[in-house]
Amino acid sequence: MDRVALRGLKARGHHGVFPREREEGQTFIVDLVLGLDTRPAAADDDLAKTVHYGIVAEEVVAVVQGEPVDLIETLAERIAQACLKHDGVQEVEVCVHKPDAPITVPFDDVTVTITRSRV
């Protein structure tokens, strides 16, 4: 399976279990790896035969900016399901970064990574 990756998609969302997170929001960063067969697109040099990663990026940002959830696990699942709606995408790995998580000790990042596929 071939892979198309999008790294560092940034969007502001209001996800989290604490009231401050819901009220103020924060930046979330999303990395995606889409699994698909790119051979038909490459053979015909045809965008319609692959995944349009620009559209995927816009959809992912819309999910992050959309309805708040408590957990980034839930956010990652919603992003994965949006990606799998594209016909050619057979598998997706989603990594959601929450670099401003409300943690009381120094840290660089918090991430949740999931992999989902068509079954």
For residue 56, what are the contacts with CB-CB under 8 A and spacing of at least 6?
6, 32, 34, 82, 83, 86
The DSSP bridge pattern shows strands 2-13 and 111-117 to be unpaired
> Could you confirm whether 49 is annotated as catalytic?
no
Q: Which helix (H) or strand (E) holds 10?
A: strand 2-13
Give the active site residues.
98
